[in-house]
Every structure is written in structure tokens, then in C-alpha cells.
């Protein structure tokens, strides 16, 4: 299947982008594997005619917004991110009416419709840097309360208002899980994604995006790591660091939507050019500005 996909990809001048959370065999066939920021940059820059996005829906939508002339296909259109739906248009409008100088900062894990109402997008790797650069005092951070509170801790001179969204996968990791895993692996460094609860983040040796966690491990002299994010990152961690040991905090840390992506679906949609992401032109126009601004402010 891998060979068939590679051949088809050449024939059609397609590029395969994969998030670290999709199954290992899908990551293995991808041209680029990365975190949300890296993949959105690659989607913007590509010269390919077709982008196959192996991830969840908001990622494919962002690729369409950043590169509307390309055909963006997804192996499974049902692969969605629960958090992306955890803020409403009404809530954003209500907050805008309360604060005159409000900037609505939108985690990229949100629907295209929500992005269209926001001032700037961020990912877990650039959120602090971008919020620091905004001229606005009042910030409404949507949809993730956990990434929002991580930013709030570091950007003290702004009034950061949180929304009640969260990632159900990262929220499952509890303080007690971390404490008991640390007891089992006393020499392990604890690395965590900022989508985890504040109490969990507090116990970490390092907090960052999936790519930041992977980079941290590569540069570290330590040999054992407790990983506070989705299990998919183990593929890259183990491939790049055969001399190091990695442990989950819970028995399983799985985003089932990411696991809907598989090689059979990938082959099928590429062969028949199915599952194209389509968005209203109006939404594309309005959502381009916050996404482009994110790329600009991250430079
Ligand atoms: P990053 O890719 O920015 O680390 O975010 C993780 C995630 O939950 C993607 O859905
Ligand atoms: Fe969404 Fe969480 Fe899955 Fe990432 S891990 S796609 S934030 S549900």
C-alpha cells in the first residue's frame, strides 16, 4: 500500500502532510510530518497540485484557506476535533460588544467559520509570542481554556479572557496520573502539551507543542521521558531517539479522530480525488486574514 501511494503521489503531483497524532504507518508515507504550525506553513508554501491532509478537519480547512487554488483532500472527512466546536459565534459577538479594543485570538483548532470572526490565529507553538506582540490590552482567547491559561501565565500585562473549551484527550490526563507515573519512573523528565489542565502543566519539566516536545527530547542529555500528549508522537520520538525511553502518563492517550486516518483511505481518496474540503468563498476571504497574520507574526 505504501509503494502504491508513493507512485500515485508522484503521478498526481500531490503532497502528503501528516500530523504527529495520525497512525505511524501514515506518518511513514508522508512528505512532511509536523505540528499544526509547521503543517499550515507547508500547506501555504507547497507547489503541489493536490494536498492530502492526514489529520483532523480544521487542519484541512486551514490548508484551503491558506492555499485556495489547491485541491485539499482528507482521508476521512469525519475526523474532526471536538475542541474546534467549543466556542460559539454569539459568544464572540457578545465579548466584542463588551470591550472596545478586544482582540479575539483563535487557536487554530477551531472551525473555519469561527476563524472568520477572529483577529489572529495561533498554534500551541506560537501563542505566547503572538499574544505578546498584539497592541490590544483585552484578549478573548478561544476555544481552549488550557492553552489560554498557559498564555495568561506568561503574558502578565494583558487582560486575557478565557473561554470554556478544552481537548477531551489531554483533559483526561490528571494530576494523580502524573504523580503516580513519576513514582514509577523517578528519573524521567515530564514533558507536556499546553492543552493539558493547568494542574498537570504545573508538574512538567517542559511544556510545548508536539514539535517542541520532540525537539526538546532530541536536544536533551536525559534518557527517560514521561510524555503528556497523544500517543502518536511516540513514532517520531522512538525513531529519532533509539537510545532513549518514553512512557505514557495514562495507559492510553488516544485521539480517536486522528486514528480514523489510515493507508487504505489515503490511497482511495488520492486515486479517485475524493473527500475534497470545500468552503464558502466568503468564509475563505474572512478567515485568510487571521491565518496570514499568524504566519507573519511568527516569522
Ligand atoms: P500541535 O500540533 O500544535 O502540537 O497541537 C496538538 C493538537 O492537538 C492538534 O490537534
Ligand atoms: Fe482536537 Fe484534542 Fe484530538 Fe488535538 S488531540 S485533534 S485538540 S481532540
List, for the chain, all residue ranges whose pLDDT scores fall below the cut of 50. none
Using a 10 angstrom Cβ sphere, with 0-12 exposed, 13-18 middle and 19 or more buried, the burial of residue 90 is exposed
Residue 299 has a pLDDT of 86
Residue 78 has a pLDDT of 98
Residue 55 CA to ligand 2 center (angstroms) comes to: 10
Residue 68 has a pLDDT of 94
Which atom of ligand 1 lies nearest, measured to the CA of 212? 4
Query: Which residue has the least CA distance to atom 10 on ligand 1?
Result: 109
Do the beta carbons of residue 161 and residue 140 sit within 8 Å?
Answer: yes
Which atom of ligand 1 lies nearest, measured to the CA of 35? 2
Q: State the CB neighbour count (10 A cutoff) for residue 254.
A: 16
| Phi, psi (deg, nearest 5) at residue 63 | -65, -40
Residue 198, classed as helix, strand or coil, is: helix
Q: Which CATH number fits domain 83-166+287-297: 1.10.1040.10, 3.40.50.720, 3.40.50.10800, 3.20.20.70?
A: 3.40.50.10800
Q: State the CB neighbour count (10 A cutoff) for residue 67.
A: 18
C-alpha cell at position 260:
480514523
Ligand nearest to the CA of 230: 2
Alpha-carbon distance of 80 to 261, in angstroms, equals: 11
Ligand nearest to the CA of 80: 2
Domain extents in the chain: 2-80+258-278, 83-166+287-297, 173-248
Using a 10 angstrom Cβ sphere, with 0-12 exposed, 13-18 middle and 19 or more buried, the burial of residue 258 is buried
Q: State the CB neighbour count (10 A cutoff) for residue 168.
A: 13
Q: CATH number of the domain at 173-248, please?
A: 3.40.50.10800
Residue 138 has a pLDDT of 98
Residue 220 has a pLDDT of 97
Residue 117 CA to ligand 1 center (angstroms) comes to: 21
Give the predicted TM-score (pTM) of the model. 0.96
- Dihedral angle, C-alpha 237, 240, 246, 249, nearest 10 °: -10
Please name which of 9, 18, 4, 21 lies closest in space to residue 193, comparing C-alpha atoms: 21
Residue 100 CA to ligand 2 center (angstroms) comes to: 32
Residue 86 has a pLDDT of 98
Residue 80 has a pLDDT of 98
Residue 223 CA to ligand 1 center (angstroms) comes to: 24
Which atom of ligand 2 lies nearest, measured to the CA of 255? 3
Same fold, 2-80+258-278 and 173-248: yes
Class of domain 2-80+258-278 as given by CATH: alpha beta
Query: Which residue has the least CA distance to atom 7 on ligand 2?
Result: 167
Amino acid at each position: 500500500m505504501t509503494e502504491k501511494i508513493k507512485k500515485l503521489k508522484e503521478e498526481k503531483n500531490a503532497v502528503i502532510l501528516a500530523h504527529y497524532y495520525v497512525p505511524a504507518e501514515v506518518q511513514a508515507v508522508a512528505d512532511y510530518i509536523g505540528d499544526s504550525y509547521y503543517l499550515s506553513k507547508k500547506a501555504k508554501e507547497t507547489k503541489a497540485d493536490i494536498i492530502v491532509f492526514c489529520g483532523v478537519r480544521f487542519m484541512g480547512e486551514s490548508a484551503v484557506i491558506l492555499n485556495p487554488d489547491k485541491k485539499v483532500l482528507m482521508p476521512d472527512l469525519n475526523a474532526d476535533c471536538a475542541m474546534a466546536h467549543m466556542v460559539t459565534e454569539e459568544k464572540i459577538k457578545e465579548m466584542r460588544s463588551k470591550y472596545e479594543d478586544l482582540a479575539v485570538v483563535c487557536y487554530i483548532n477551531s472551525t473555519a467559520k469561527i476563524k472568520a470572526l477572529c483577529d489572529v490565529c495561533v498554534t500551541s507553538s506560537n501563542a505566547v509570542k503572538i499574544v505578546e506582540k498584539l497592541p490590544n490590552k483585552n484578549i478573548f482567547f478561544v476555544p481552549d481554556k488550557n492553552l489560554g491559561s498557559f498564555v495568561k501565565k506568561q503574558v502578565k500585562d494583558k487582560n486575557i479572557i478565557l473561554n470554556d473549551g478544552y481537548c477531551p484527550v489531554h483533559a483526561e490526563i490528571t494530576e494523580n496520573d502524573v504523580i503516580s507515573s513519576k513514582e514509577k519512573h523517578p528519573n524521567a523528565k515530564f514533558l507536556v502539551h499546553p492543552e493539558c489542565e493547568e494542574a498537570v502543566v504545573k508538574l512538567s519539566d517542559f511544556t510545548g507543542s508536539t514539535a517542541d516536545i520532540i525537539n526538546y527530547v532530541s536536544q536533551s542529555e536525559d534518557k527517560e521521558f514521561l510524555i503528556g500528549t497523544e500517543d502518536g508522537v511516540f513514532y517520531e520520538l522512538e525513531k529519532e531517539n533509539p537510545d532513549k525511553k518514553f512512557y505514557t502518563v495514562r495507559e492510553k492517550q488516544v485521539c480517536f479522530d486522528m486514528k480514523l486516518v489510515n493507508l487504505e483511505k489515503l490511497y482511495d481518496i488520492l486515486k479517485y480525488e475524493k473527500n475534497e474540503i470545500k468552503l464558502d468563498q466568503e468564509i475563505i476571504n474572512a478567515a485568510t486574514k487571521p491565518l496570514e497574520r499568524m504566519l507573519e507574526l511568527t516569522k
